[in-house]
Structure 1
Amino acid sequence: MTRLGFVIESKACIACHSCAVACKVENNLPDEVWWNRILTDGGPNMDSPAGTYPNLSISTVPMACQHCENPACVKVCPVGATYKDAETGVVRQDYDKCIGCRMCVAACPYTGVRNFNWEEPKYAIGQPMGALDIPVHEKHVVEKCTMCWHRLAKGEQPACIEPCPARIRHFGDFDDPNSEVSKLVRENECSQLLEDRGTNPSVYYVM
């Protein structure tokens, strides 16, 4: 048994969006669809700071599916299309079972981490450019971060980890006390998003 997840040093994030782009390319995400986003808290526009120069401020929140230990989305799915993998703790989607009811979207407290494909997926370059072993995107299903399940199956890390130039994203097994992520949580003050909801996300942010 493992509990895979992330530790993100968000204060050191430079908002370059490399992780988001890597995710989009690796998973061949359709136009306008992002499973991994870097949200910025500052000015009125993305990546814009608050204040007046030179007194400016901005903070970042890398956001994707939180792969909760107690996922609200799994409880409400009427057909078992949203489920938690028993071996890894990864919250997964079965596109073949999904009936498009979007109950998981409504139940998830983390706004915007899921996408519903209202139409047939469209692509800017007109052809797939992601990994060969990813599921085909379909109309009328809900999608989200898979933690790059196809890469995990080969013993690789999610695609968002390696491209980060600031090396602020860490991935590993929280059930292993000697893993890098376990040590980071023990040795630093960390937070989880919406801790009061009882979902116990598998994403920790170093404060």
Structure 2
Amino acid sequence: MTKYGFAINLHRCVGCRTCTIACKMENSVPEGIQHMRVLNDQGDTVYDVPSGSYPALSFEWTPVPCMHCDSSPCLPVCPTGATSKRDDGIVLVDEEKCIGCRMCMEACPYDARSFDESSKTVVKCSLCAHRLDAGLSSTMCQLCCPNRAIVVGDLDDPDSAVSRTIRENETIRLLLEQETGPNVHYWRSVNQGL
């Protein structure tokens, strides 16, 4: 069975936020909303400031999409069933069913959902389900990343690039203590001793 997920190379991410813009263009993401947030060391999406003391300064960015969790806390709290999970692990929001109550936003520990004021609905990363359903092998964020920091694919296929990346590298996942089973794995191709 297919189960989609991400592997994101933090060493290759240079904070250009091309993934954010590519997602906005592909998915008509409203102004002021980001489905792929790229956080700096301070946890912000703007005003990058280096960490450390001169001359040992460093930058690190963390792209944060929806985690498409195995145990998505946003699912059980949705009163209308607008949030659903496909058999391939992609968590989606049906804007026709969404009443804008924002309970799913409160439940998400990754802050991966936003409220769209124009439609009065909650929106989020769809893992470019429309592209994957059309037989395209990549999301728009993966396709447009200039440093090839993002890999998307079938976590259940041991021969997929995402599975090989996770198997061959030491990866981390965010907020594992929340027991959500996030399907975004982070790794570094070069260990900077951080």
Shared topology, TM-score over 0.5? yes
CA distance in 1, matches of 2:170, 2:110: 22
3-state SS of 1:205 partner = strand
Supply the RMSD in Å over aligned alpha carbons: 1.6
Q: Any stretches of 5+ residues in structure 2 without a counterpart?
A: 189-194
Partner of 1:151: 131
Give the length in aligned residue pairs. Answer: 186
Contact 2:84 2:92 in 1 (8 A): yes
- Per-residue deviation, 1:110: 0.5
Q: Residue type matched to 2:41 in 1?
A: D
Partner of 2:95: 95
- Per-residue deviation, 1:53: 3.8
Q: Residue type matched to 1:116 in 2?
A: F
| CA deviation profile, 1:158-197 (whole Å, cap 9, x unmatched) | 1001111111110110111111111111111001110111
Contact 1:192 1:201 in 2 (8 A): yes
User: Closer, same or farther in 2 for the Cα pair 1:80/1:19, shift >3 Å?
Assistant: same
Moved over 3 A (4+): 42-45
CA distance in 1, matches of 2:164, 2:17: 26
Contact 2:30 2:116 in 1 (8 A): no
- Per-residue deviation, 1:75: 1.4
Q: Any stretches of 5+ residues in structure 1 without a counterpart?
A: 121-138
User: Closer, same or farther in 2 for the Cα pair 1:42/1:198, shift >3 Å?
Assistant: closer
- Per-residue deviation, 1:52: 4.5
Partner of 2:32: 32
3-state SS of 2:62 partner = strand
Normalising by the residue count of structure 1, what TM-score does the alignment of the two structures yield?
A: 0.85
Q: Does 1:199 align with 2:180?
A: yes
Partner of 2:165: 184
Q: Residue type matched to 2:114 in 1?
A: N
- Per-residue deviation, 1:64: 1.2
| CA deviation profile, 1:127-157 (whole Å, cap 9, x unmatched) | xxxxxxxxxxxx2110000111211111112
Q: Residue type matched to 1:114 in 2?
A: R
Matching of residues 163-174 of structure 1 within 5 Å: 163-174=144-155
